[in-house]
Amino acid sequence: MARPRTGRQSSAEYQRRYRERKKAQGAMAQTNWMLDMRLADAIRHEAKTRGLRESELATEILGEWYEARFGGRLPPAQPEPLQGTAAPTPPPTPINATVELLLGKLEELGFIIPLQGMATQCLHGDERNGLWATVTLNGLDAIEFGLVERSDGLAQNILHCVVDTVARHAWLTSDAYGDLNQDRDIGTRINTKGLQALDDVFARLREFIMAKRKPLHYEETLAALPGYLDQEPSRSLLVLAFLRVGLELVHVAPTDLVISAAEPPENIALHDLQALAQYVRQEFLRMGKTVCTFPLWDGGELIAFAPEERAFVYAGLRMPSPDTEGGNP
Protein backbone atom coordinates (compact mmCIF):
# COMPACT_ATOMS: atom_id res chain seq x y z
CA MET A 1 0.00 0.00 0.00
CA ALA A 2 1.37 3.40 -1.01
CA ARG A 3 2.26 5.72 1.79
CA PRO A 4 0.08 8.79 2.07
CA ARG A 5 1.84 12.03 1.17
CA THR A 6 2.56 14.38 4.00
CA GLY A 7 1.45 18.01 4.01
CA ARG A 8 5.07 19.07 3.42
CA GLN A 9 5.35 16.81 0.38
CA SER A 10 2.03 18.07 -0.99
CA SER A 11 3.20 21.65 -0.62
CA ALA A 12 6.47 20.98 -2.49
CA GLU A 13 4.59 19.19 -5.25
CA TYR A 14 2.13 22.07 -5.52
CA GLN A 15 4.94 24.63 -5.81
CA ARG A 16 6.68 22.54 -8.49
CA ARG A 17 3.50 22.28 -10.57
CA TYR A 18 2.80 25.98 -10.05
CA ARG A 19 6.27 26.89 -11.39
CA GLU A 20 5.79 24.61 -14.42
CA ARG A 21 2.38 26.10 -15.12
CA LYS A 22 3.71 29.68 -14.91
CA LYS A 23 6.61 28.75 -17.19
CA ALA A 24 4.21 27.26 -19.73
CA GLN A 25 1.99 30.33 -19.52
CA GLY A 26 5.00 32.57 -20.10
CA ALA A 27 6.07 30.55 -23.12
CA MET A 28 2.51 30.64 -24.49
CA ALA A 29 2.30 34.39 -23.92
CA GLN A 30 5.62 34.86 -25.74
CA THR A 31 4.34 32.72 -28.62
CA ASN A 32 1.04 34.60 -28.74
CA TRP A 33 2.89 37.93 -28.76
CA MET A 34 5.04 36.78 -31.69
CA LEU A 35 1.94 35.55 -33.52
CA ASP A 36 0.17 38.83 -32.80
CA MET A 37 3.08 40.83 -34.21
CA ARG A 38 3.31 38.65 -37.36
CA LEU A 39 -0.45 38.84 -37.86
CA ALA A 40 -0.48 42.61 -37.30
CA ASP A 41 2.35 43.08 -39.82
CA ALA A 42 0.58 40.85 -42.37
CA ILE A 43 -2.72 42.71 -41.92
CA ARG A 44 -0.98 46.07 -42.22
CA HIS A 45 0.78 45.03 -45.47
CA GLU A 46 -2.35 43.48 -47.02
CA ALA A 47 -4.52 46.45 -46.05
CA LYS A 48 -2.05 48.86 -47.66
CA THR A 49 -1.95 46.72 -50.83
CA ARG A 50 -5.75 46.59 -51.10
CA GLY A 51 -6.32 50.20 -50.09
CA LEU A 52 -8.29 49.31 -46.95
CA ARG A 53 -8.10 50.38 -43.35
CA GLU A 54 -6.44 47.83 -41.06
CA SER A 55 -9.58 47.59 -38.93
CA GLU A 56 -11.70 46.85 -42.01
CA LEU A 57 -9.39 44.04 -43.15
CA ALA A 58 -9.17 42.59 -39.60
CA THR A 59 -12.98 42.55 -39.38
CA GLU A 60 -13.17 40.83 -42.77
CA ILE A 61 -10.67 38.13 -41.72
CA LEU A 62 -12.45 37.57 -38.41
CA GLY A 63 -15.80 37.30 -40.19
CA GLU A 64 -14.47 34.67 -42.63
CA TRP A 65 -12.95 32.63 -39.79
CA TYR A 66 -16.15 32.80 -37.74
CA GLU A 67 -18.28 31.71 -40.69
CA ALA A 68 -15.95 28.79 -41.46
CA ARG A 69 -15.82 27.74 -37.79
CA PHE A 70 -19.43 28.17 -36.75
CA GLY A 71 -21.30 28.26 -40.07
CA GLY A 72 -22.90 31.67 -39.57
CA ARG A 73 -22.23 35.36 -39.75
CA LEU A 74 -20.18 37.11 -37.11
CA PRO A 75 -22.48 38.89 -34.62
CA PRO A 76 -22.28 42.69 -34.69
CA ALA A 77 -19.88 44.39 -32.33
CA GLN A 78 -22.68 46.43 -30.80
CA PRO A 79 -25.88 44.77 -29.59
CA GLU A 80 -28.81 45.31 -31.93
CA PRO A 81 -31.39 47.73 -30.57
CA LEU A 82 -34.63 46.29 -29.27
CA GLN A 83 -37.63 46.45 -31.55
CA GLY A 84 -39.32 49.80 -31.29
CA THR A 85 -36.10 51.41 -30.04
CA ALA A 86 -34.31 53.71 -32.46
CA ALA A 87 -30.58 53.15 -32.84
CA PRO A 88 -28.47 56.15 -31.81
CA THR A 89 -27.57 58.36 -34.78
CA PRO A 90 -23.82 58.50 -35.33
CA PRO A 91 -22.36 62.01 -35.47
CA PRO A 92 -21.99 63.29 -39.05
CA THR A 93 -18.54 63.32 -40.59
CA PRO A 94 -17.48 66.92 -41.16
CA ILE A 95 -17.07 67.93 -44.82
CA ASN A 96 -14.12 70.18 -45.41
CA ALA A 97 -14.41 73.33 -47.51
CA THR A 98 -12.52 71.83 -50.44
CA VAL A 99 -15.00 68.96 -50.80
CA GLU A 100 -18.03 71.22 -50.48
CA LEU A 101 -16.87 73.71 -53.09
CA LEU A 102 -15.67 71.02 -55.49
CA LEU A 103 -19.00 69.17 -55.40
CA GLY A 104 -20.87 72.45 -55.83
CA LYS A 105 -18.95 73.28 -59.01
CA LEU A 106 -19.52 69.79 -60.44
CA GLU A 107 -23.26 70.03 -59.73
CA GLU A 108 -23.40 73.39 -61.53
CA LEU A 109 -21.89 71.71 -64.60
CA GLY A 110 -24.56 68.99 -64.54
CA PHE A 111 -22.53 66.13 -63.07
CA ILE A 112 -24.38 63.54 -60.99
CA ILE A 113 -22.72 63.29 -57.56
CA PRO A 114 -22.90 59.80 -55.99
CA LEU A 115 -23.22 59.27 -52.25
CA GLN A 116 -20.50 56.62 -52.57
CA GLY A 117 -18.63 55.03 -55.46
CA MET A 118 -19.08 56.05 -59.10
CA ALA A 119 -21.87 57.80 -61.01
CA THR A 120 -21.88 57.85 -64.82
CA GLN A 121 -24.21 59.74 -67.14
CA CYS A 122 -24.51 60.60 -70.82
CA LEU A 123 -24.61 64.37 -71.18
CA HIS A 124 -25.11 64.36 -74.94
CA GLY A 125 -25.70 61.69 -77.58
CA ASP A 126 -26.11 57.96 -77.02
CA GLU A 127 -24.01 55.00 -75.91
CA ARG A 128 -22.14 54.80 -79.21
CA ASN A 129 -21.60 58.48 -79.95
CA GLY A 130 -21.89 60.72 -76.94
CA LEU A 131 -20.33 62.77 -74.18
CA TRP A 132 -20.06 60.91 -70.87
CA ALA A 133 -19.43 62.35 -67.43
CA THR A 134 -18.26 60.39 -64.39
CA VAL A 135 -17.71 61.25 -60.74
CA THR A 136 -16.18 58.89 -58.18
CA LEU A 137 -16.44 59.72 -54.50
CA ASN A 138 -13.76 57.91 -52.48
CA GLY A 139 -14.97 58.82 -49.04
CA LEU A 140 -14.25 62.47 -48.36
CA ASP A 141 -10.51 62.25 -48.94
CA ALA A 142 -10.45 62.03 -52.75
CA ILE A 143 -12.78 63.02 -55.60
CA GLU A 144 -12.30 61.84 -59.17
CA PHE A 145 -14.20 63.23 -62.15
CA GLY A 146 -13.91 63.62 -65.90
CA LEU A 147 -15.42 63.72 -69.38
CA VAL A 148 -15.03 61.13 -72.15
CA GLU A 149 -16.37 61.58 -75.67
CA ARG A 150 -17.09 58.45 -77.72
CA SER A 151 -17.37 58.75 -81.49
CA ASP A 152 -17.66 55.77 -83.85
CA GLY A 153 -16.11 53.39 -81.34
CA LEU A 154 -13.23 55.70 -80.38
CA ALA A 155 -13.02 57.33 -76.95
CA GLN A 156 -11.28 60.64 -76.29
CA ASN A 157 -10.32 61.72 -72.79
CA ILE A 158 -11.56 65.30 -72.64
CA LEU A 159 -10.39 65.75 -69.07
CA HIS A 160 -9.70 63.48 -66.11
CA CYS A 161 -9.03 64.96 -62.68
CA VAL A 162 -8.19 63.40 -59.32
CA VAL A 163 -8.28 65.74 -56.33
CA ASP A 164 -6.80 64.88 -52.94
CA THR A 165 -9.03 67.03 -50.74
CA VAL A 166 -6.81 66.59 -47.68
CA ALA A 167 -3.46 67.42 -49.28
CA ARG A 168 -5.31 69.81 -51.65
CA HIS A 169 -3.54 68.54 -54.71
CA ALA A 170 -4.94 67.73 -58.17
CA TRP A 171 -3.71 65.49 -60.99
CA LEU A 172 -4.95 66.28 -64.51
CA THR A 173 -4.81 64.43 -67.84
CA SER A 174 -6.45 65.46 -71.11
CA ASP A 175 -6.31 64.55 -74.79
CA ALA A 176 -8.19 67.71 -75.78
CA TYR A 177 -6.43 70.27 -73.57
CA GLY A 178 -2.74 69.37 -73.55
CA ASP A 179 -1.79 72.40 -71.46
CA LEU A 180 -3.74 70.96 -68.52
CA ASN A 181 -1.62 67.80 -68.31
CA GLN A 182 0.14 68.54 -65.05
CA ASP A 183 -0.19 68.34 -61.28
CA ARG A 184 -1.69 71.34 -59.53
CA ASP A 185 -1.36 72.44 -55.95
CA ILE A 186 -4.79 73.73 -54.92
CA GLY A 187 -3.25 75.61 -52.03
CA THR A 188 -4.46 76.34 -48.54
CA ARG A 189 -6.54 79.44 -49.27
CA ILE A 190 -10.16 78.51 -49.93
CA ASN A 191 -12.70 81.29 -50.48
CA THR A 192 -16.29 81.67 -51.61
CA LYS A 193 -15.23 81.93 -55.24
CA GLY A 194 -14.11 78.30 -55.24
CA LEU A 195 -10.85 76.52 -55.89
CA GLN A 196 -8.72 79.15 -57.59
CA ALA A 197 -6.15 76.69 -58.93
CA LEU A 198 -8.93 74.70 -60.66
CA ASP A 199 -10.81 77.65 -62.17
CA ASP A 200 -9.23 77.01 -65.57
CA VAL A 201 -10.21 73.34 -65.38
CA PHE A 202 -13.87 74.10 -64.69
CA ALA A 203 -13.89 76.81 -67.36
CA ARG A 204 -12.71 74.27 -69.96
CA LEU A 205 -15.28 71.73 -68.81
CA ARG A 206 -18.07 74.30 -68.97
CA GLU A 207 -17.01 75.45 -72.44
CA PHE A 208 -16.88 71.89 -73.79
CA ILE A 209 -20.17 70.78 -72.20
CA MET A 210 -22.06 73.84 -73.39
CA ALA A 211 -20.74 73.39 -76.93
CA LYS A 212 -21.97 69.77 -76.99
CA ARG A 213 -25.31 70.38 -75.29
CA LYS A 214 -28.40 70.45 -77.48
CA PRO A 215 -29.74 74.01 -77.87
CA LEU A 216 -32.53 75.06 -75.56
CA HIS A 217 -36.04 75.42 -76.92
CA TYR A 218 -36.78 79.02 -77.89
CA GLU A 219 -39.14 79.45 -74.93
CA GLU A 220 -36.40 78.34 -72.54
CA THR A 221 -33.96 80.74 -74.16
CA LEU A 222 -36.40 83.64 -73.85
CA ALA A 223 -36.92 82.76 -70.19
CA ALA A 224 -33.15 82.91 -69.58
CA LEU A 225 -32.42 86.11 -71.52
CA PRO A 226 -33.50 88.76 -68.95
CA GLY A 227 -30.71 87.68 -66.64
CA TYR A 228 -28.12 88.27 -69.38
CA LEU A 229 -29.31 91.37 -71.25
CA ASP A 230 -27.84 93.74 -68.66
CA GLN A 231 -24.36 92.61 -69.72
CA GLU A 232 -22.64 94.06 -72.76
CA PRO A 233 -21.17 90.79 -74.13
CA SER A 234 -24.60 89.10 -73.99
CA ARG A 235 -26.31 91.95 -75.85
CA SER A 236 -23.62 92.00 -78.55
CA LEU A 237 -23.74 88.23 -79.04
CA LEU A 238 -27.53 88.29 -79.27
CA VAL A 239 -27.42 91.01 -81.96
CA LEU A 240 -24.73 89.06 -83.85
CA ALA A 241 -26.83 85.88 -83.84
CA PHE A 242 -29.78 87.71 -85.43
CA LEU A 243 -27.60 89.60 -87.92
CA ARG A 244 -26.26 86.26 -89.18
CA VAL A 245 -29.77 85.21 -90.21
CA GLY A 246 -30.53 88.60 -91.80
CA LEU A 247 -32.57 90.15 -88.97
CA GLU A 248 -32.07 93.09 -86.60
CA LEU A 249 -33.06 93.30 -82.96
CA VAL A 250 -34.05 95.85 -80.34
CA HIS A 251 -34.34 95.17 -76.63
CA VAL A 252 -36.95 97.26 -74.84
CA ALA A 253 -36.04 97.36 -71.15
CA PRO A 254 -38.82 96.89 -68.56
CA THR A 255 -40.33 100.08 -67.12
CA ASP A 256 -41.80 98.53 -63.94
CA LEU A 257 -40.28 96.34 -61.23
CA VAL A 258 -41.29 92.73 -61.93
CA ILE A 259 -40.80 89.73 -59.63
CA SER A 260 -38.29 87.21 -60.93
CA ALA A 261 -39.29 84.11 -62.86
CA ALA A 262 -41.09 81.33 -60.97
CA GLU A 263 -38.37 78.83 -61.93
CA PRO A 264 -34.65 79.55 -62.20
CA PRO A 265 -33.74 79.95 -65.90
CA GLU A 266 -31.42 77.61 -67.73
CA ASN A 267 -27.78 78.49 -68.22
CA ILE A 268 -27.62 79.97 -71.70
CA ALA A 269 -24.95 79.45 -74.37
CA LEU A 270 -24.04 80.99 -77.73
CA HIS A 271 -25.63 78.16 -79.72
CA ASP A 272 -28.90 78.79 -77.82
CA LEU A 273 -28.91 82.34 -79.25
CA GLN A 274 -28.19 81.00 -82.72
CA ALA A 275 -31.05 78.50 -82.44
CA LEU A 276 -33.39 81.29 -81.28
CA ALA A 277 -32.43 83.46 -84.25
CA GLN A 278 -32.98 80.56 -86.66
CA TYR A 279 -36.41 79.89 -85.17
CA VAL A 280 -37.43 83.56 -85.51
CA ARG A 281 -36.18 83.62 -89.10
CA GLN A 282 -38.27 80.55 -89.94
CA GLU A 283 -41.34 82.18 -88.36
CA PHE A 284 -40.76 85.30 -90.47
CA LEU A 285 -40.67 83.21 -93.63
CA ARG A 286 -43.63 81.03 -92.64
CA MET A 287 -45.90 83.89 -91.56
CA GLY A 288 -44.65 86.49 -94.03
CA LYS A 289 -43.83 88.87 -91.18
CA THR A 290 -41.33 91.70 -91.20
CA VAL A 291 -41.63 92.64 -87.49
CA CYS A 292 -42.14 90.33 -84.50
CA THR A 293 -42.30 91.14 -80.77
CA PHE A 294 -41.36 88.68 -77.99
CA PRO A 295 -42.43 89.63 -74.43
CA LEU A 296 -40.06 88.68 -71.62
CA TRP A 297 -41.04 87.67 -68.08
CA ASP A 298 -39.36 90.74 -66.56
CA GLY A 299 -41.65 93.10 -68.47
CA GLY A 300 -39.19 93.86 -71.26
CA GLU A 301 -39.51 92.98 -74.94
CA LEU A 302 -37.41 91.81 -77.85
CA ILE A 303 -38.39 93.25 -81.23
CA ALA A 304 -36.97 91.44 -84.24
CA PHE A 305 -37.38 92.95 -87.69
CA ALA A 306 -36.14 92.90 -91.25
CA PRO A 307 -33.56 95.60 -92.09
CA GLU A 308 -36.02 97.48 -94.31
CA GLU A 309 -38.27 98.05 -91.29
CA ARG A 310 -35.53 99.70 -89.21
CA ALA A 311 -36.77 103.28 -89.58
CA PHE A 312 -40.37 102.27 -88.85
CA VAL A 313 -39.43 100.33 -85.66
CA TYR A 314 -37.18 103.06 -84.24
CA ALA A 315 -39.70 105.75 -85.04
CA GLY A 316 -42.39 103.82 -83.20
CA LEU A 317 -40.12 103.45 -80.18
CA ARG A 318 -39.03 107.10 -80.41
CA MET A 319 -35.43 106.00 -80.42
CA PRO A 320 -32.57 107.32 -82.59
CA SER A 321 -31.79 104.96 -85.44
CA PRO A 322 -28.36 103.26 -85.14
CA ASP A 323 -25.76 103.21 -87.87
CA THR A 324 -26.48 101.12 -90.92
CA GLU A 325 -23.82 98.58 -89.82
CA GLY A 326 -25.84 97.78 -86.70
CA GLY A 327 -25.76 98.49 -83.01
CA ASN A 328 -26.62 97.06 -79.66
CA PRO A 329 -30.15 95.94 -78.78
Q: Give 107-122 pLDDT, tens digit per residue.
A: 888 898 888 889 999 9
| Cβ neighbours of residue 220 closer than 8 Å, sequence gap 6 or more | 265, 266, 272
CB of 153 closer than 8 Å to CB of 129 = no
- Listing DSSP states for 166-178 in one string gives TTTEEEEE-SS-G
Q: pLDDT-derived band of residue 135, with 50, 70 and 90 as boundaries?
A: very high
pLDDT range class, residue 139, cuts 50, 70, 90: confident
pLDDT at 9 over 90: no
Which tens digits make up the pLDDT trace of 199-253?
888 888 988 888 888 888 888 888 888 888 877 778 888 888 899 999 999 888 8
- Asked whether the predicted pLDDT for residue 32 surpasses 70, the reply is no
| pLDDT tier for residue 27 given thresholds of 50, 70 and 90 | low
Helical (H) or strand (E) element with 222: helix 218-224
Q: What is the pLDDT of residues 37-85, one digit of tens each?
A: 677 777 777 777 777 777 777 777 877 777 777 777 777 665 555 565 5
Q: Between 294 and 184, where is the model more confident?
A: 294
Amino acid at 303: I
Average the pLDDT over 118-145 and give the result: 88
Q: If pLDDT is split at 50, 70 and 90, which confidence band does 185 have?
A: confident
Question: How much is the pLDDT for 325?
Answer: 46
Answer yes or no: is pLDDT of 99 > 80. Answer: yes
Check residues 323 and 96 and name the one with the higher pLDDT. Answer: 96
User: Do the beta carbons of residue 302 and residue 234 sit within 8 Å?
Assistant: no
Count CB-CB contacts under 10 A for residue 270: 15
pLDDT attached to residue 136: 92
36 has pLDDT over 70: no
